[in-house]
Every structure is written in structure tokens, then in C-alpha cells.
Amino acid sequence: MSDVYVRLKELGLELPKAPARGGVYSSSREFGNHLVYISGCGPAIDGPVRGKVGKEFTKEEAQVFSRNSMLNVLAVLQDRIGDLNKVKQAVKILVFVASDDDFYEQPFVANGGSQLLVDLFGEEKGKPARSAVGMNVLPGNIPVETEAIFEIKE
């Protein structure tokens, strides 16, 4: 697979500036044998996004929010490791979806972030284990939040 930054450009995407922390925690933490945990990131890139999926937003809009959340995750990861080409594999992601009571397609929403990882790192390295869960509300009334674990090359 080509350079991650070349793939981003080919997809018409840019890595945003890493989002500021929203509390008393670390945005990323290295642990174990070359693993990096990235704390939950929301979808805001060009400005705030607020509301629930299935109410204010469609599942298609939410899938874009999931992709944007992953872009923010990758921005935090880049700040931690310096170069996304050091990623050995995406290990696990957890996608929280603030959902209306009758919305049941959280996995569809989560595909936005998962697909970005596959597009950037390839099927073998980029397809993580994953959970997608519905929530009543997320911090700041954001519709999607994603956290992740990556393995980094030695």
C-alpha cells in the first residue's frame, strides 16, 4: 500500500489538527508491546456537530461523522507517534453512536471510520476488531465518538 498521506490526498481528505482534550485525561497512551490507545474523539472538524442519529441526522450523515471522528483519532495518533506510516495495524475501535430510541443501525454508522482505516492502510492492516454501540447521549451532544487501539512498528 502507498504512503498513508498520499492515500489521504487521493481520497480528497486532510488530517485535521488534533482535537483539544475535553477534560482531565490523556488523549493517547502507549502501553504493552508497541500499542497506542487513543481516547474518544468526536466528529468536529469544521465546527461543532450536535444531535442524535435517527433524529437530527440520517445514518448516511452519521457515517460521514464516523469517518471524521476517525480522522480526529488519526490526528491524535500522529501527534503521539509522529508518522502514520509507523502503524503496523489497527487493532480495535469502539464507536459510540448517540441514537434516537428507534435507531438500530449503529454498525452502518461505524463503517465510516472502519472503511477509512481500510482505505488508508489496506485490508490486512486497516480492518480492526470493532464494536458499535448506541448511546442515549454523548458529551456535548455529539452524534458519534470513536476510540481506538493501534499497534506501531518497532
Other CB atoms within a 10 A radius of the CB of residue 44 amount to: 17
Stretch 77-86: mean pLDDT, rounded? 97
Largest CA distance in the chain: 45
> What is the CA 134 to chain-centroid distance, rounded?
16
Find out whether 111 and 63 touch, Cβ atoms under 8 Å.
yes
Predicted confidence at residue 1, as pLDDT, reads 43
Where residue 154 falls among pLDDT bands split at 50, 70, 90? confident
Predicted confidence at residue 21, as pLDDT, reads 86
Pairwise CA distance, residues 114 & 1, whole Å: 17
> Across-strand partners of 41?
146
Cell digits for 142? 455529539
Pairwise CA distance, residues 126 & 137, whole Å: 29
pLDDT greater than 60 at residue 8: yes
pLDDT greater than 50 at residue 74: yes
What percent of the chain has a predicted confidence (pLDDT) above 90?
94
Over the stretch 35-69, which tens digit does the pLDDT of each residue have?
Answer: 999 999 999 998 899 999 999 999 999 999 999 99
Where residue 97 falls among pLDDT bands split at 50, 70, 90? very high
Predicted confidence at residue 22, as pLDDT, reads 84
Where residue 2 falls among pLDDT bands split at 50, 70, 90? low
Phi and psi at residue 28, in whole multiples of 5°? -150, 155
